[in-house]
Structure 1
């Protein structure tokens, strides 16, 4: 059973000028757009296994480590709020170029980062570009699919694959190659060039992109039309809960391995995070036949035992339990993210797609950052075990709330 019927109909045609040279078409174009998403999202988690090296070299606390991670998503929230619909105005390609440029500037700052202020600046700069890439890339994939492919699965799979490959590559380079704080970022610069080159050969799907910068609107345009708020709410809560688990592993798994499980290998730290996202990508590929709403609900149900295993791994402590929890969490994230994103795609009007997707992504960014900050401060005030247990209870409550909201929002439809 294909998922194409739940996708929003793509925009037809384009009056925008396209760059000289061969243009990708059909399935090749949608796959190429997804690969751009994957390459840009690798930068989001590539520093994950490197945080412990920075902590040892710059001598900062676990709370500072948490804030360095979270400031990335502060930048992401700011961009999503003020530039959430930029690609609806400028076109998808221009927005992707801007995102790649910001990512490459941040990468250069990382290469020369030898102090906390520079590290914070690098993370902030890298966070500014992700919403541009996410909003434009997700909309681009949906429009290029044109009913031929499952756009939500393709976008979600590319995003999760990028998030998983980033820490895996960085962890291996940090463990086995020289210059662990330089070589991964040199690779990231190369990947940025590749992403820009691919975007150059993709057809523009926005019909009448704005070419004069003076005509661009920087007025905050995130939001959801009143008519679709009830249908949007459950996917948004699902995104927050799902990405909270992803945020925990992306920010704190290497520290948990080192401090609680006494695993010092940077490669293993990156591999644990990679396992989470690899399982998520595999589950996406194997469950495309599952209806969007069913996928979202199953993701929420699986999220609860995944959180329980995370707490148990900390208390035991046990690496096998942590790996089991990461695998189950990956399955929950894949189903929850794909299902909720697909539902959002299905209700978003064509001319406000990037804006509504950016609003949805704000819930993702909030979920991936705010709970992690809370864990850091609570662990400092109490104990890591209490912090992890509190995190699990709160996120499980959000998962149950999303299920409740979904069933409640569909009750009126059943009576009509």
Structure 2
């Protein structure tokens, strides 16, 4: 079934423009309610969390109206991280979880992500079924079966308490100075609370959301702000989260950044040594650096690659029984602890490594030397197909020929924005730049 609404991470777009309108959110809510409420029983419930975007109020109300119209009882969590929604969906025995967030996107965007009763994101098949219901006539509940809505005041506190349990040995962060950049997003209260309650001296950054400043010059997509704070305050390390806190970048005491590949390498090595890395493998996407694959090979471990998107990483992890995976962009999925990427809990695992080894962050953030990698994005207009242009295909074929046996090339459409992403790896930096720049120029000319 062809999907038009759902991308690689739910439904996403510019607020008050299709599909991120109040009308569509209402229909999505009603369709999801009808999908999960397949009988006349009136005890079905859904939890809804959100980040700090101004449009979150509008979408939250519209979703609530749609869900209650089909008989679902709605539990409103307020601003909480995406992984908290996965956790609370299971903890509160809900039939459905919804997160209103566009993750790392700018404030004018928003999105709607769905979680099943097991706390994992819905499958492509389930999303396709909901999309089909949206396109049809949605049967409302009978007047006596309309759902109720209730705000859960301690949702953040429940997640904070759980997050602390994932850190081995409470109080071991005493004496550590930690910068946490919350991107003016969903974790602006939860993340500093967890770190402080575990004993760290916390320097919070990006904790003054106003509805319009989420991810703006802060967070995991703009690590310079956290790096400046680390150096200025003489901190031992820094955590830079994104808007919904399901991804993280880690900074050492000098402000050097470790991306998701380096964090996964550290955790995979530590977990393998402790005998807790299931399947002897790490699951990552086609974007992860070749250096990570070589690092794992040298330790007798495997790298299982998937399509881009943390949902596909999780699907492969569940299929193969693996418990560690993620993305270079900072989604770190640890199914021992969470059903989706959790930036805060990943940060706690890094801090645990610091506490247990006594090593500074700078000794842990560089697990391998990455193969030179270049990624550039080309924006295009909706409806265009620049990759289908004859000249673009010719340039790509030539690039593949030049890189054969010397590197790798990956070109794909973003699943969340109208972008063509061009990525290549090669030991020869000159060749790398020529290949990427040539493809980018050809795509831009066709866009």
- Tell me if TM exceeds 0.5: no
- Identify, as 1 or 2, the structure richer in helix: 1
Q: TM-score, normalised by structure 2?
A: 0.24
Q: Which has the higher strand share?
A: 2
TM-score (normalised: structure 1): 0.25
